Copies of this chain bind each other. A is one copy, B any other.
Amino acid sequence: MKNDEVLAIYLIETPYPVEKAAETMAGEQSTGTFISVPGETPQLKARHGARVVGIEPLDESESPSLPGVYIPRDMDKPVYRRAVVKLSFPLHNFGPSLPNLLSTVAGNLYELREFSGLRLLDLELPEAFAAKYPGPKFGIQGTRRLAGVFDRPLIGTIVKPSIGLPLEEYGPLVRGLAEAGLDFIKDDELCANPPYAPFEQRVNTVMNEIDKAADRTGKKLMYAFNITGDIDEMKRNHDTVLQAGGTCVMVCVNSIGFAAVSHLRGYTELPIHGHRTQWGAMTRSPLLGMSFTAYQKLCRLAGVDHLHTNGLNSKFAESNDSVVRSILDCLKPMFGGYGAMPVLSSAQWAGSAIPTYRETRTLDVIHLAGGGILAHPGGLAEGVRSMQLGWEAAVREIELAKYAETHSELQEAIRVFGDK
C-alpha cells in the first residue's frame, strides 16, 4: 500500500449494482453531496475523492439483512447482492487523526439507504499514524516484565461478586489470591469508583495485601484497577494507583471513547488494560458495525496494552472461530510492533487452555477465570495451579484427563467444571 492513503475494507449488501453502490460510499465519505454543487470540480475530485480499488462479489439474498433500504418504483423484484469492497481514502483529506479516521471510514455510511448491510471489516493505515500514535506503551513484553511471568500465559481472575463487595472483604480476597500464586487480577467492568467502596481506599486496601504477599512470595501480582470515568478523574485515579505501587490500570474502551483512551496513553506510566464492554452492539449484527479485526487496530493505535477477546466456549454469543481470529489479530504486528496482549475470559477454567493453545499456538495471553478459580473445590491455590496445569498439558500436548491422573488439582477442576 502507498503511504498517502488509508485502505478500508467493507462487507456490503445492496439491491443496486455493486459497482454503483461502492461509488456511492466513496462519494459520501469524500467529495460528494446529494446534488452537484459549484466547486466540486474534476480536479478536486481527482485530488480528494475516495476511490473504489477492489470489489469481490459474494452471494445474493432475496431479503434484506437490515431495514431502511430504498427501492425505487421502477426496480424489479430486488435482489440483495453481497460483496467485499475496498476503498482508498487520500490521507491528506484528514491526516493521521484517529477520531477523524473514524468519521471518514465509518461516518455516515451505515445510514445510507442504498445499503441493506454495511460492515467495516479491516483497515490498512499508512506510517503517518505510527508517527502520531505510538501504540501500546508496555505491550506484551512490558506486561510480562511487570508481572514477572515469562514462559506461560498470565493466569488471572476477576473480582467477584462484580458489585457490592465491601472493602473489608476485598483485603482477604486479594490476600488469598495473591498468596495462591495468581499473576493477575482485574476489576470487574462494573466496578470502578462506586460510592460503597471509594477508589482510593480500594486501591490502598488491595495494594497493601499485594505488597504483603509479595514480601512473602517474592512475586508481585498485577492488579488492573478499573479507572473508567471522566478524564480528569481517570488521571487522578491513575496517579493513585501509581503512588500505591500498582502496576496496571483498566478502562472500558467504548464507555470512554477512543479520544479518551489515546489521551490516557499519553499520560499513563502503567499498562492500560482495555475492556471492550458494549462491543456486542458494534458487531453482533453480521452485516452492520465493525469486525474485531478493524476494532482491535483502532484500540492498539489508541494505546491499549491488553485487549479483551472473550475466551473459547464462553457464555457469550461469539463463536469459537471468531474468538480464535480475535486472539491472533491482537498478536499480529502493526507498523512492526504495537503488540497487545489478548485477554481471554468468560466461563474459563483449566480445560479451556487445551483448545485455546491448539487453535492459537501462543502463550502471550492473559487467561482469566472467575468461577474457574474462585469456585475450585480445593481452594484458591489449587484453582490457580489447575489453570497452570491446563496450559502445561496443552503445550506438552498431553490429554487433559491423562495429565489429571497425576495432578489432583486438575482432576478436581475436571470434575466440577468439566461440562462447561
Contacts and interface: CB of A to CB of B under 8 A. Distances in A.
B37 A161 contact: yes
A256 interface: yes
A259 B233 CA distance: 10
A113 B315 contact: yes
Contact of A346 (B34, B38, B95, B109): B34
Contact of A254 (B94, B97, B102): B102
A126 interface: no
Interface string A136-180: 000000000000000000000010111111000100010000000
A280 interface: yes
Interface string A357-382: 00000000000001110110000000
A285 B68 CA distance: 10
A45 B160 CA distance: 12
A230 B259 contact: yes
Interface stretch (A186-194, A207-215, A334-342): A186-194
Interface stretch (A25-33, A51-59, A241-249, A405-413): A25-33
23 contacts: A30-B163, A31-B164, A37-B160, A37-B161, A45-B164, A47-B164, A48-B163, A48-B196, A68-B284, A68-B319, A95-B194, A97-B228, A97-B233, A106-B278, A107-B278, A110-B278, A110-B280, A111-B318, A230-B259, A230-B263, A255-B259, A257-B258, A259-B259
